Every structure is written in structure tokens, then in C-alpha cells.
Amino acid sequence: MKVDSAKQLPIIVLGGGPAGLTAAFDLSRQGRKTILIEKAPLVGGISSSRYWENFIVEYGPHTYHVKQDDIDDLVRENYDGELAIKKRVTNMLIRGKTYDYPLKFWQLFRGLNPFFSARIVADFLVSSIRFSLFPRPDDSFETWGLKRFGRSLYQLCFGQYSERVWGIPPSEISPRLASSKLHKLNLKDILIKLLGGRGQEQATYWDEFIYPEEGIGIIFNRMAERIALAGGEVRLETVPVGFHFRENRISAVTVRRGDGEETIPAGGVISTIPLSELGKLCRPRLSGPESAAAGDLKNRALVLVNIIIAADRISRAHWVYLLDPEFRFNRFCEQKNLLLENKPPGKTMLTFELCCGYGDKIWNASEEELRTMALEDIGRIGLLDGLEVEKSMVTRSKDAYPIYGLPFEENLKLTFRGLSGIPNLFSAGRQGLFLNSDMHDSMKSAREAARGLLEDRDPKDFYRENSPLFPSLPGS
């Protein structure tokens, strides 16, 4: 098939989360026939919203991070009401006390027992001397943390919490995770300031967001409607089962809905589904090692326990991180605090997040077991004392967080190398780039993928520019 005739064929977009919808929205707006394939019965992916007992249920409330660019415009364009900018309020519970998130070390030092604070400083100095006398590369999350914070602070704030979240010891987690998540924290600088020095300006985190009153999913529902209005198709409860190739290009995609299969001729594919699933579809174009590497890029699953409490509100924070080792859940949030109106009156909902492995004991635990665990955690801080707990509901997400185990960089490099050999396939979004990205960045990469496909760009250039990991992967 000639490339020009392929331009008359539909582009297939895999996945109907924020990224897939953005790609399909842009393509259909530009007059390109687009068919979006989504396995779930609704769009929005892990940023979708459902409604239960007058509450909005999300995979943890999803606030849109304002970054003042064309993706903000896209979000606003897909919402009719006002989207007021708000400031994030996030807390961390450490040794029974509440601190701001991101962590402010001076606040922590003030709140901790002075002997423990002195130990943190001493440990930090010991670590600094040890690593300058015996230099060691950042070969794991643990080494990265010990070098920069010393053992006591590292364990208190990052070490054991990370093991709980990722399900593997921090010595087996890639230092990439630390450098992407924690690089803005700088204990050395704080200590210099405490000793009267000038130090450097602390880098700031984004803290402004917008959040529609109906929940974030309304934006993605609207995008799906507009794709259809522009002549595109959004097919729910449908999965891709195979790609067909002509030379190295995808010429058609077979999809399945229920018992029925259909093969759709395709001019190109934008995939936002997990790389492990995309790898299978690309066989035999990916070599054995490339396909195996894609299969090893696994995600951590997430279980969320939503509990309705008979109280108007129980906190003012949007999220509270549970860092101490006695907690089992990572964090909880009170969705009502995000909404413009305090509704419904007299009731509030807490959502507890717990990471697990897909199909493991936690994943398969009953609603009753998970609810009991969540109430035990919240009981440790006495937040619900004397309050009536009403209903609960559990939701689960199979692909919540990419696991950056030590071999992941090699696997990602091999996967991108294989995918780069298919010129009319672009893999984008959080799942498609194996990134811990927010909605904004996931959507932005999908917009770039749509542009890349329309302009016949080399996918390798797209991966270089849109994956912060790819350019520095060895050999890429």
C-alpha cells in the first residue's frame, strides 16, 4: 500500500483515557477519520468519574494541574462552566504529626523530638562523609536516598513507604524513580540555611489545579462526544486482538467486541494502552527480546476503598499521605474538599488508596476485608472517633503505576527500539510511555503523537522528545 492511499484510511487510537481522547480529538478535528478503541464501558481511563450515593468516585480525585499551555486550553474548551484555579492542600502524617506536602524539612525538624532531629543531622553528615570518601554511583533508589538524606531521614520519609507502595525493596528500585519524584528536595541546602548560610532557592512544585464540580471525568466524556460530532467513532467495550502488517507498516487492526471480530484497514495507530499489551499486538514485527522486554514492563495495581461517613467534613486537606510503617494504605483523600459546593450535606466520603500486585491477595480481598483494613488505618489517628460509618465501595485499577524495577531501563530501551521500527505506530500517554505522568503530560504526549503521525515523523524522534527516559537510555 502506498503511503498516500494509507492517508485515506482511518487512524486507530487504542485506549480512551485522557491521552487517547486527546489524540482522537485532534485527529478528528483535522478531518482525519478516527476510530478509538476502549476496553472499558466508559471513557476517561484512570481519570474517569463515576457517581455513587451522590458522590463522585474517581481513582482518587483527579485534579488537573494548570501549566498554562495549549493543553489547559483543550481542557477548558471541553467544559462549559467556570473552572476556578485552586491551591492544593496536601498533608503527610509522620510519627503521629501532620506536615505539609511536599515536605518542608524545617517544619519536620520543628515537629520531631529534638533528639531524633539531631540524629537525622548526624546521620546525614555521616552519610555525606562516607559517600565522599567511598564514592558510589546511584545504583538504586536506596543508594540515591541514603546519599542525599542519611539513613534516619531516608527511612522515616521514603524507604519503608516506597517498599509498601512498590512492593519491592528500595535496593531493587531504579534510582530513576527517586530522581524523577524527589529531586526537588534538598536537605543539604536546608542545613546550610539553618546554619545561617544563604543556600539556594528551593525548586517549587506545581500547586495550582482546576477541578470541575461534576468530577474530572466530565471533561473526557465531553471530548468523546465531540470526537463523534467531528465524524470519529468511540467504540467502548472493544479490544484490539491483532495488527496486520504490510512490510513494516500496520495495514489493519482486528478488534473484538463480545463474540464479534472485525478487521479495520488502518492508515496508522496511536496506542495509549500498556506497553506490555502493545508488545503482544506487534508480534512478529518486534524481535523475541524486544517483545519479552515489553512484556516485562509491568504496572503496580491499585485498590481504592471509598467510605461514606456521617459528618459534614472530617478534614480540610485534599490528600493525606500515611508514611508511618503501621499504616497499610498509602494515602487517603476527602473528595468533598475539592468541590466548589459542600455537598451532599451531613455526609462526606473518604477514599483510601492501597497499592498491590494485580491478582495478589490484596487485589482479591473482599470489600469487607478492605473496608476493615481502611477503618483500622484511620482508627490509628482517631479521625473517625464517635462518627458513624455508612456505606463503602471498592474500585480497582490494574494499571496504576509503572514499576521502575532495576531492569526497567533496559526493557524500555529495547521496547522503544522495536516500536521505532514501525513508522505508522506511535505509543503515547502514561501507559504508552511508561511514565508516572499526570493528565496534562499524558495528553500533551498524545497530541504530539497525533502530530507526528500526520506529519510522517520518525517515531524514534517522538520517543526522544516525549519520554524523559528515552534520550538517556544506554545505547539509544
Q: Which of 6, 12, 13, 16 binds ligand FAD (CB under 6 A)?
A: 16
- Encoded one letter per residue, x for contact with ligand FAD by CB under 6 A and - for no contact, window 416-445 reads -------------xxx-----xxxx-x---
Supply the minimum distance, in Å, between the C-beta of residue 118 and ligand FAD: 36
Residue with cell 465524524: 231
Confirm or reject binding of residue 217 to ligand FAD (CB under 6 A): no
What phi and psi values does residue 116 have, to the nearest 5 degrees?
Answer: -70, -40
Which of positions 232-251 make contact with ligand FAD (CB under 6 A)?
239-240
Nearer to ligand FAD, 15 or 452 (CB): 15
CB of 318 to ligand FAD, least distance (A): 9
- Distance set, CA 376 to CA 252, 302, 308 (Å): 52, 19, 15
Q: How far, in Å, CA of 196 to CA of 328, rounded?
A: 39
Which position among 13, 19, 309, 365 is part of the footprint of ligand FAD (CB under 6 A)? 19
Taking the complex as a whole, the smallest distance from the CB of residue 66 to ligand FAD amounts, in Å, to 10
Which span (38-46, 126-134, 197-205, 367-375) binds ligand FAD, by CB under 6 A?
38-46
Binding mask 389-408 for ligand FAD (x = CB under 6 A): ----------xxx-------
- Rg of the chain over all Cα atoms, to the nearest angstrom: 23
Reduced to 3 states (helix: H, G, I; strand: E, B; else coil), residue 125 is helix
Binding test (CB under 6 A) with ligand FAD, winner from 46, 71, 156, 333? 46
Q: Considering only CA atoms, which of 189, 182, 174, 176 is closest in space to residue 205? A: 182
Q: Does residue 476 belong to the site contacting ligand FAD (CB under 6 A)? A: no
Q: Which of 274, 234, 272, 269 is nearest to 254 (CA)?
A: 269
Please choose, out of 44-52, 359-367, 411-419, 462-470, the segment that lies near ligand FAD by the rule CB under 6 A. Answer: 44-52
17 scored as a contact of ligand FAD (CB under 6 A): yes
Question: Which residues 129-168 are close enough to bind ligand FAD by CB under 6 A?
Answer: none
Amino acid 194 reads L
- Residue identified by cell 517544619 is 107
Closest CA relative to residue 164, chosen from 346, 395, 326? 326
Query: E strand or H helix at 370, and its extent?
Result: helix 367-379
DSSP state of 368: H
Q: Which pairs with CB-CB distance under 8 Å and at least 24 residues apart come from 27-31? A: 27/232, 27/270, 27/450, 27/453, 27/454, 28/227, 28/230, 28/231, 28/232, 29/230, 30/454, 31/231
Candidates 14, 56, 153, 282; binder of ligand FAD (CB under 6 A) is: 14
Q: How far is the CB of 86 from ligand FAD (least distance, A)?
A: 12
**Residue 273 interacting with ligand FAD (CB under 6 A):** yes
- Closer to ligand FAD by Cβ: residue 223 or 230: 223
Binding segment (CB under 6 A) for ligand FAD, from list 31-39, 223-231, 410-418, 456-464: 31-39
Write b or e for each residue in 178-187: b if 16 or more Cβ atoms lie within 10 A of its Cβ, otherwise e: beeebeebbb
294 part of the interface to ligand FAD, by CB under 6 A: no
Stretch that binds ligand FAD, among 138-146, 167-175, 245-253, 266-274 (CB under 6 A): 266-274
Q: Where are the alpha helices (DSSP H) in 33-77?
A: 70-77
What's the rounded Cα separation, in Å, for the pair 260 and 166? 38
448 binds ligand FAD (CB under 6 A): no
Total residues at the site for ligand FAD (CB under 6 A)? 39
Distance separating alpha carbons of residues 47 and 216, to the nearest angstrom: 7
- If one counts every other C-beta atom within 10 angstroms of the C-beta of residue 359, the result is 10
| Of residues 153 and 224, the one with the C-beta less far from ligand FAD | 224
Give least dist CB 59 to ligand FAD, A.
Answer: 5
- Contact between 65 and ligand FAD per CB under 6 A: yes
Write down the least CB distance from residue 60 to ligand FAD, Å: 4
- 324 vs 48: CA distance, rounded Å: 30
Binding site for ligand FAD (CB under 6 A): 14-20, 37-40, 45-47, 59-60, 62-65, 239-240, 272-274, 277, 302, 353, 399-401, 429-431, 437-440, 442
